[in-house]
Structure 1
Amino acid sequence: MSAERPFVTWTFDRHCETMDWSPAPAVSLSAVSATSEDGSVGDADLVIVGVFAPAKADDDKVDDGAEEKEIDPIVFNGKAKELDEMLGGALTELASDNSKAFQNGGSAGTLTPAVRVAVPGGKAKRFVLLGLGPEGKEKDGVPPKVESATIMKAAVAVTSACHDQKKIKSCNVLLPPQTVEGISVKGMLTDFSTAFFSSLYVDNRYRTGKKVEIKADGVESVKLYHEFLEGADLVSDYDDAISSGAAIARGCSLTKDIVNAPHNVLNSESLAETARRIAGESGGSITCEILGKEECEARGMGAYLGVARGSETEPQFIHLTYKPPSGEIKKKVGCVGKGLLFDTGGYNIKTSMMELMKFDCGGAAAVLGAARAIGSMKPEGVEAHFIVAACENMISAKAVVPSDILTASNNKTIEILNTDAEGRLTLADALVFADKECGCEKIIELSTLTGACMVSLGLKICGVWTDDDVLAKEIEDISKVTGDKSWRMPLAKEYADQLKSKIADISNLGGPYGGAITAALFLTEFVDKKKPFAHIDIAGPAWDKEKGEASGFGAKLVTEWVRKQGE
């Protein structure tokens, strides 16, 4: 919320028209070469030295009663070795005192307690060792690959260390050379930056009393030292990599803000205002088009408007278009997100978990968060359309009821067997728009669509349905890098009979089994069969049950997928 006014949701006569965004972290992150001889790596209030533990033993199991194995010592090399020698072996001693933390390889993100060491010619500084997991083994002359997940865990650990060590304003992080094995330096910096800034997210927008403490609040700068960061001509590339990570983190922050916002703050109109703001901060690379009720009616969007009928707020069909500032456009893609700002279930009213139904806009939040990131990163070679049919599924005299028949914008008629299967109705018209009006060559769609997917894959993994093997592989590879875990599910055509209607072209509900599959099959009816299309059900991972807040799931996946389309 802005500092000029107190928190207000709506008045009796007027609903909320805007949603405030959580502020970006104030700390700066930069990359510095560790190859210089000035010793500046030790010149900070807190110095964190990343170390790989000795490679994990093949015979790591010890029989009961057997003598405990001796733990291999941590070996410092390069700049870390020089720093240790300058400190009189203090880092070696710190590693030895905490050797069990690194036993059998330890785990990425392990932090030792801080130790104060007098730096020659200066004041005593605090030093912490950051475990990066077991050092991999070279195989057939190929160095071991360091996973993006390791870099991200390290970044989160850095914010924790900065938070735990009070009254510090500066932090230097020294990473060993092996952290770029199997990953580019720019990739490493982007991963670190994304995780670092994302871990600082706190949603204090609706607290007027005591606020949740922001991690590392008061830290002004974090410098990332690495022995491969050298060459004046590469400095701008490294800065761009860190900026890209920060942009992705801002996108994730917006995704969380949208899902966290209560319905009396976030409705179709305030989400449309959010979309306009995304376009406004993009510097002209993103344009925003909002279709109102009349414009949607003119396009025959009867499925979407049927769901929107029950709400007091007007439907807002959001269309953001990203075009690169220059260069050839190699691919035109569509990203569609389910935008139910609240889902009561309609006349098939929900009997449980209704207090969580503000999260039913998780797909829209991921797509809009990605749009924000893409507008800042400005990738070349790709034109991207971000589409959300925003509305609420409410109960009123005008709301649809079971047995109603709606006509989608591709003239397909839909029998409503259950008003709580509403998300697929809004997505139907959004997909037709992406396919026909925008002319997208590839389309992905994200939605918190079915409880059946949650039953199948739990709360950490999204389901992916597509007939296109290339698109499936793209999503699989990207999910491994971003940490947005996915699993390809069967698009079983033999289940399509469950969607048959005795009175219309199709019904909006299948049988009692395979509900996630029949939902995916329903959506394929609204995209050209020849076009690569993937339905991604994020019902499980969109909400972090343990934290009781949005997870930000999907924003990184969509951002990276769009970026790669232009390569």
Structure 2
Amino acid sequence: MFQVPVIDVTNEQAIFEGEGFDAVVVVTPKLADVAQQEISLLAAHAQQIDKRVGQQATLLFAPGLAGGRLVIAPVKNIGDYTDVRVYATAAKEGINIAKEAGANKPLLVVAHSQEERFKFASQVAALACGQALWQPLETREAKQLTAPLTGIGLLVSDPQADLINALEAGRLLARDLCGTDPERMSAINFAEYCVESFKDSGLEVEVVDDKQTLLTEYPLLSAVGRSSFDVERHHPRVVKLAYTGEGEITRTLLFAGKGVVYDTGGADIKIAGGMAGMSRDKGGAAAVAGLMKTLALLKPKGIKVIAQLGLVRNSIGSEAFVTDEIITSHAGTRVRIGNTDAEGRLVLTDLLSHLREQAINATAPSLFSVATLTGHVVRAYGGYTALVENVVAKQQKVAEKLYQAGQQWAEPFEVSHLRPEDFEKVADKNGAADVISSNNAPSSITARGHQYPAAFLLKASGLDKHGLNHNIPLSFTHIDIAGSATEGDPLYGKPTAQPLVALLQFAVS
């Protein structure tokens, strides 16, 4: 296992006596805020001969402290609009210096203000260390790498390790699924990786692999994968997962995860290098799988969480689906294909239709789609995740609750809104079909390019019939993570597993 475990430390003597720790990493906005006088005095003395101390991450020789190493990782540029991510940035810098200095088991000390926005700074800093230390699955397998550290201590007053380790286990799974190349993590291999990861977890796991079942039950997903059926190793899969907590179930969350393991654009082929990075188009399914892993470890009571992951390769070939086709979805909606490079919403539609049927008889259901769906969300919001909710979810304040969780746990959201124009945009103008999947231009240059796909999902999956005035209104929130699924290089940057942490907080709140 590549995960670096976090260990609760409530005894400050660990800073000095070691307890196996071989470095102390201090994350703080001000050296004066560090509660341990020995650390603040040592840092203040070092500052007299090196002005970088407290201004940038530095390593100090520290006799008497664990391992004789002290890393000061300053939290910089705190202002009115700053959020807790500044602690994550500082923690990444600090843990990398400790690792490069030869530490195997550093102790993380986070000194933060009592402001509400920094309430979970210690937990966020610890999770950031996991993000910084992750290595791609291909590299680990090729070089037989083991975890770079044996553990990270976290100096806290209350135990936090179980939560942090469960979150990081889910994030590790999500990063592996999202960030691995399209052959190593084909639809089949993605499904098998999930099955192996959930062995003995207590989750209900089912893989739909029969071609006829896929064609009948997931007709839009199968259309996307039509050309991939020609290649046995590229066959589509649907992974069904379910977690049921102990006790009376008081709420049910249902997730559809987009898992396009490679997106060529299909017949509307991506050109001029546009395919690069398209093995990351499975980030939504990866994040949902990671969430299920975390739930299986934490075992929260009173909730049920159901997920379907649609895994498919949008291949090119003589069998590929094309624009102008009209295909009937699982919900019975006739869908005109407007652009084969808008395949993600087709995959999600069938998943949501199945989840809709389950939600009708569920306790307090909330449905979600999670997907790297549009270039437009990146144009609109940069690296932020967008939430687009239906009127039922809006009444239940789903996006508002997610927004607050994201702010506190370093996974911030932007909230968008459905408008009448979004439903007009997906109407098939000549009436041959019930709905059109997209226009024929890239979403990045289309007005309301990340909002109107949510209207399509509602119409094509049958969820539009479960509005406020229906006897069974259903809450639905679309989550577009195209801008936040990776960090750094937009094509090959490190997967973030967003918004796993915020979704977990929403689920257990």
Q: Provide TM-score, normalisation by structure 2.
A: 0.83
Matched, 1:449 2:367: no
Which of 97, 101, 121 is equivalent to 1:161?
97
**5+ long unaligned stretches in structure 2:** 468-472
Change (3 A) 1:298 1:485: same
> Taking structure 1 as reference, are residues 75 and 480 closer, same or farther at Cα in structure 2, changes over 3 Å only?
closer
* Alignment equivalent of 2:499, drawn from 542, 553, 557: 557
1:457 alignment partner AA: Y
Instruction: Specify the alignment match of 1:60 in structure 2.
Output: none
1:415 paired to 2:357: no
Quick check: 1:81 aligned with 2:16?
A: no
Aligned to 1:539: 482
CA displacement at 1:536 relative to structure 2: 1.6
Partner AA of 2:389 in structure 1: T
Aligned to 1:93: 45
User: Which one of the candidate residues 256, 262, 266 is aligned to 2:175?
Assistant: 256
Indicate whether 1:304 and 2:281 are aligned.
Answer: no
- 1:429 positional shift: 0.7
1:519 shift after superposition: 1.6
SS for the counterpart of 1:454 is: helix
Trace 1:297-446 onto structure 2 (pairs within 5 A).
297-299=215-217, 301-311=218-228, 312=231, 313-324=234-245, 326-352=246-272, 353-439=274-360, 441-446=365-370
Q: CA deviation at 1:147?
A: 5.8
Cα gap change, 1:123/1:491 in structure 2, threshold over 3 Å: closer, same or farther?
closer
Aligned to 2:58: 112
SS in 1 for 2:495: coil
In structure 1, the partner of 2:470 is none
Task: Name the CA distance, whole Å, in 1 between partners of 2:118 and 2:194.
Answer: 33
Q: Deviations over 1:236-278 (max 9, x none)?
A: xx1xx21321222222222222222222222221122122123
Contact 1:333-1:562 within 8 A present in 2 as well: no
Matching residue's letter, 2:10: S
**1:349 aligns to what SS in structure 2?**
coil
The percentage of counterpart residues that share the same residue type is 21
Q: Is the 1:52–1:132 Cα contact (8 Å) retained in structure 2?
A: yes
User: Secondary structure in 1 aligned to 2:489?
Assistant: coil
Residues 277 and 492 of structure 2 are in contact (CA less than 8 Å); yes or no, is this contact kept in structure 1?
no
Structure 1: gaps of 5 or more residues: 1-22, 54-73, 138-144
Deviation per CA, 1:115-157: give whole Å up to 9, x if none: 243x3xx9982333332458999xxxxxxx9964344334323
2:435 corresponds to which letter in structure 1? I
Shift of 1:298: 4.5
CA distance in 2, matches of 1:524, 1:398: 28
Secondary structure in 2 aligned to 1:489? strand
1:12 aligned partner: none
Deviation at 1:39, TM superposition (A): 4.8
Query: Does residue 266 in structure 1 map to residue 185 in structure 2?
Result: yes
Tell me, yes or no, if the aligned pair for 1:337 and 1:367 is still in contact at 8 Å.
Answer: yes
**Residues 397, 390 of structure 1: alpha-carbon distance in 2 compared, 3 angstrom cutoff:** same
Is 2:458 the counterpart of 1:524? yes
Decide which of 269, 272, 275 is 2:194's aligned counterpart.
275
| CA shift in 2, pair 1:400/1:481, >3 Å | same
Deviations, residues 42-83 of structure 1 (Å, cap 9, x unaligned):
985423345442xxxxxxxxxxxxxxxxxxxx53664x2156
Residue pair 2:405, 2:505 contacting (<8 A) in 1 also: no
Q: Distance in 2 between matches of 1:319 and 1:425?
A: 18
User: What aligned pairs does 1:105-144 form with structure 2 within 5 A after superposition?
Assistant: 110-117=56-63, 119=64, 125-133=68-76
Give me the whole-angstrom Cα distance separating, in 2, the residues matched to 1:114 and 1:445.
47
Offset from partner CA, 1:300-322 (integer Å, 9 cap, x none)? x3222222221133331211001
Aligned length: 480
SS at match of 2:2: coil
| Residue 439 of structure 2 corresponds to residue 510 of structure 1 | yes
Counterpart CA distance in 2 for 1:407 and 1:123 is 65
2:288 and 2:321 mapped to 1: Cα distance? Answer: 27
Aligned to 2:368, what secondary structure does the other structure show? Answer: strand
Name the SS for the 1:549 alignment partner.
coil
| Counterparts in 2 of 1:170 and 1:452: CA distance versus 1, 3 Å | closer
Whole-angstrom CA distance in 2 between matches of 1:406 and 1:316: 19
Structure 2 Cα separation of the partners of residues 363 and 511 of structure 1 = 24
Q: Give the corresponding residue for 1:194.
A: 127
TM-score of the two chains, using structure 1 as the length reference: 0.75
Greater Cα radius of gyration, structure 1 or 2: 1
Deviation of the 1:161 alpha carbon: 2.6
Task: Tell me which amino acid in the other structure corresponds to 2:9.
Answer: V
CA distance in 1, matches of 2:121, 2:12: 18
